[in-house]
Amino acid sequence: MLVLDRLGKIYPNGVNALERFSADIRLGEIVAIIGGSGCGKSTLLRAIAGLDRATSGTVTLDDISISAPHAKIGIIFQEPRLLPWLSVADNIGFGLSELPADLRREKVARALARVGLVDKANAWPRELSGGQAQRVAIARALVPQPEVLLLDEPFSALDAFTRRDLQDHLLDLWADTRPTLVLVTHDVDEAVVLADRVLVMRPRPGRLFEEIRVNLARPRDRHSPLFDNFKRRVLTALDRSLDRNLADADPKTTTGEAMWW
Amino acid sequence: MAMTVELPALERTDVIVAARPAPLSRLRRLARPALGLLLPVGLALAWEIIVWLGLSSGRLVPPPTKIFATLVGLAKSGELSQHILATLSRVGAGFGLGVAAGTLLGAISGYWSLARRLLDPTVQALRAIPSLAWVPLFILWLGIFETSKIVLIAAGVFFPVYLGVMGAILSVDRKIVEVGRTFRLSGPAMIRRILLPAVLPAYVVALRVGLGLGWMFVVAAELMGASEGLGYLLLDGQQLGKPAQILAAIVVFAILGKTTDWLIEVATAPLLRWQDAFGRQGGAA
């Protein structure tokens, strides 16, 4: 269980990026965080990762307080961030340096096969396409078997076709060990296709605005009316979250009853 | 160092040429270096003929055969190897010292911001002084013999290496460092697995620039008084009116400078294979 309790972040320049953000995320859940720019979603993710400290509130994972990067938490960034001087295989094995060499090789080989890049094992990162590089990044983050995987707009730099392909691939990989996924995105389609729960944030200061449960069975059909329905609801919530005239209220939760229309 | 800069531009034409039909392109590729040789070889040949025809005495500007004969003569008497050895050992010692000091201080300044604020302004101020201005002081302090020469060379090598290392560390991509942090690398592991490899390409460039300056300063050091070394051959040739000897020494300098630079390039190439460099595209074509 990942518990975010009243997280807040005020940057040294006085910008109030995040305010009183609370959420309980259970093991194996997929949560998408969506919101306009400047709503603090990346700040939130970096606080969960332990890369930046929140100025108030706490992050706890299985009763361990997180204030620095933790072995149970993996992260995938918008860019693949592969180390250019390591081969694809060595990049995937980067987080396994404490394991004996043969075990590491075995795990890397399995991960390479799982992301379909066996033939690229000895390639340099510069020789990969954007989608391939991001798959290597996913393999690198998953291979130490984290309990929580954080994704910061992981597919936003890819073309639409590759993005869909990788979204399906991510779900496929997720099903292997079922870690908790916390995904920051600005793509409504992505949020609805992946998440069990979509958290809509509103900017200045970044706060939780609305929570939408997407109780659709997987695999989800992107062209079904139900899917569209959820997309529309997320979009409506997003629109309202950017409406400055709306009074600050406590975040409201809606579940999927609308899907029975 | 100027010799190392022009390569990428040349390699680029290679790519364009390779797109043409194969036999023609192969011919062109062979012809390309030959084209560069045309001017110097042509001039040398022309001068040789002019002197041979007696149109000029060639006393102040000796023809190539005479320079070559001088080189052979020096080599036969064993003088050449003695002078080369003397110069090489000075450059070697000065380069080693300069690189060691430049790398150490550059790394400290790059890694540790307090040290940078403390150290860097002084180093930058010293850098603004033309290094040759130190010569009289070095001679006063360290004597006229080897020590002052080596220190002068080391001073010349130090600055580009220091700047290169510090700049390289400062410009390591924060995003890559963050990857190290998410995998919870300790300080030493972060240096070994992230910073060192990231800094390496810039470090090699700094070494090559430093070596170029080392060769420049060895000439200055040997001109200020030496009993052996290639710089001594230059001075001796001037004082005794032997232009062929001066030119012979210059030719040796050129060969040694290019060779040592090439050695650094070859020695570090396996470590830099991963680079997504512009020159590499041409090399592969």
Residues in chain B closer than 8 A to A69 (CB atoms): 181-184
d(CA B168, CA B160): 12
d(CA A89, CA A215): 37
Number of other residues whose CB lies within 10 A of the CB of residue A71? 13
Peptide bond connecting A205 to the previous residue in cis, omega within 30 degrees of 0: yes
**Residue range B124-139, pLDDT digits in tens:** 999 998 888 888 888 8
Mean pLDDT check: name the lowest of A175-189, B229-243, B263-277: B263-277
Q: Both tokens of residue B187?
A: 């300080």
Please determine, for residue A33, whether its predicted confidence score (pLDDT) is greater than 90. Answer: yes
Q: Which residues pair with A25 in a beta bridge?
A: A2
- Residue B79 pLDDT class (50, 70, 90 cuts): confident
Q: Is B47 helix (H, G, I), strand (E, B) or coil?
A: helix
Residue-level pLDDT at B271: 85
Q: Nearest Cβ partner of A75 from B182, B189, B193? A: B182
Q: Nearest Cβ partner of A49 from B182, B198, B274? A: B182
B195 touches chain A (CB under 8 A): no
* Distance, CA of A245 to chain centre: 30
DSSP state of A206: B
A69 touches chain B (CB under 8 A): yes
d(CA B112, CA B6): 35
**Residue range A200-246, pLDDT digits in tens:** 988 878 888 888 898 888 888 888 888 888 889 989 888 888 876 66
d(CA A77, CA A186): 14
Residues in chain A closer than 8 A to B284 (CB atoms): none
**Residue B136 region, left (φ>0) first, then alpha (ψ -120 to 50), else beta?**
alpha
d(CA A238, CA A220): 22
d(CA B151, CA B90): 10
Please determine, for residue B277, whether its predicted confidence score (pLDDT) is greater than 80. Answer: no
Residue-level pLDDT at B276: 64
Average pLDDT over residues A47-75: 89
Residue A6 near residue A20, CB atoms below 8 Å: yes
Percent of chain B scoring above 70 in pLDDT: 88
Residue A186 near residue A156, CB atoms below 8 Å: yes
A57 burial type by CB count under 10 A (0-12 exposed, 13-18 middle, 19+ buried):
middle
CA nearest B273 in A: which residue?
Answer: A85
Indicate yes or no: CB of A124 within 8 angstroms of CB of B184: no
Angle between helices B146-170 and B79-111 (to 10 degrees): 40
What does the buried/exposed string (b/e) look like for B195-210 if buried means 16 or more CB atoms within 10 Å of the residue's CB? bebbbbbbbbbbbbbb
Percent of chain A scoring above 70 in pLDDT: 93
Please determine, for residue A53, whether its predicted confidence score (pLDDT) is greater than 80. Answer: yes
Please determine, for residue A257, whether its predicted confidence score (pLDDT) is greater than 80. Answer: no
Residue-level pLDDT at A42: 86
CA nearest B194 in A: which residue?
Answer: A83
Please determine, for residue B85, whether its predicted confidence score (pLDDT) is greater than 70. Answer: yes
Q: Nearest Cβ partner of A81 from B176, B198, B200? A: B176
Q: Nearest Cβ partner of A124 from B178, B184, B274? A: B274
Indicate yes or no: CB of A83 within 8 angstroms of CB of B273: no
d(CA B6, CA B32): 14
Which residue is associated with the tokens 């295989």? Answer: A89
The fold adopted by the segment(s) B62-280 is: MetI-like fold (1.10.3720)
Residue-level pLDDT at B270: 83
For chain B, give every domain's residue range: 12-56, 62-280
Q: Both tokens of residue A158?
A: 């890819």
**Residue range B145-188, pLDDT digits in tens:** 889 999 999 999 999 999 999 999 999 999 999 999 999 998 88
Q: What is the mean pLDDT of chain A?
A: 87
The interface predicted TM-score (ipTM) is: 0.84
Please determine, for residue B284, whether its predicted confidence score (pLDDT) is greater than 80. Answer: no
Indicate yes or no: CB of B276 within 8 angstroms of CB of A95: no
d(CA A134, CA A122): 16
Q: Which residue in B146, B141, B205, B195 sits closest to B171, CA to CA?
A: B195
d(CA B90, CA B85): 9
Indicate yes or no: CB of A51 within 8 angstroms of CB of B183: no
User: Which of A46, A66, A83, A85 is the mutation pick for testing B, counting most B CBs within 10 A?
Assistant: A85
Pairing of strands A16-25, A56-61: unpaired
Please determine, for residue A35, whether its predicted confidence score (pLDDT) is greater than 80. Answer: yes
Residues in chain A closer than 8 A to B190 (CB atoms): none
Residue-level pLDDT at B22: 59
* Residue B176 or residue A258, greater confidence: B176
Which phi and psi (to 5°) does residue A54 adopt?
A: -70, 150
Residue A82 near residue A124, CB atoms below 8 Å: no
d(CA B40, CA B273): 34
Alpha helices, H only, chain A: 41-49, 88-92, 101-114, 130-142, 160-177, 188-194, 225-241
Q: Both tokens of residue A196?
A: 């069990």
Residue A151 near residue A119, CB atoms below 8 Å: no
Q: Which residues pair with A152 in a beta bridge?
A: A184
d(CA B251, CA A15): 64
d(CA A97, CA B196): 17
* Residue B46 or residue B22, greater confidence: B46
d(CA A39, CA A201): 6
Domains of chain A and CATH, by start = 2-260 (3.40.50.300)
Q: Nearest Cβ partner of A81 from B179, B197, B200? A: B179
Q: Which residue in A189, A238, A198, A247 sits closest to A37, CA to CA?
A: A238
Pairing of strands A56-61, A64-65: antiparallel
Which phi and psi (to 5°) does residue B219 adopt?
A: -65, -50
* Amino acid of residue B60: L
Residue-level pLDDT at B8: 40
User: Which whole-number Å values give the CA distances from A169 to A119, A142, A220, A223, B195, in the listed order?
Assistant: 18, 13, 13, 18, 33
DSSP state of A72: T
Residue-level pLDDT at B194: 92
Number of other residues whose CB lies within 10 A of the CB of residue A239? 11
Which pTM does this prediction carry? 0.79
- Residue A253 pLDDT class (50, 70, 90 cuts): low
d(CA A244, CA A62): 37
Q: Is B98 helix (H, G, I), strand (E, B) or coil?
A: helix
Mean pLDDT check: name the lowest of A92-101, A108-117, B274-283: B274-283
A99 touches chain B (CB under 8 A): no
Please determine, for residue B285, whether its predicted confidence score (pLDDT) is greater than 50. Answer: no
Containing B11, the helix (H) or strand (E) segment is helix B7-18
A28 touches chain B (CB under 8 A): no
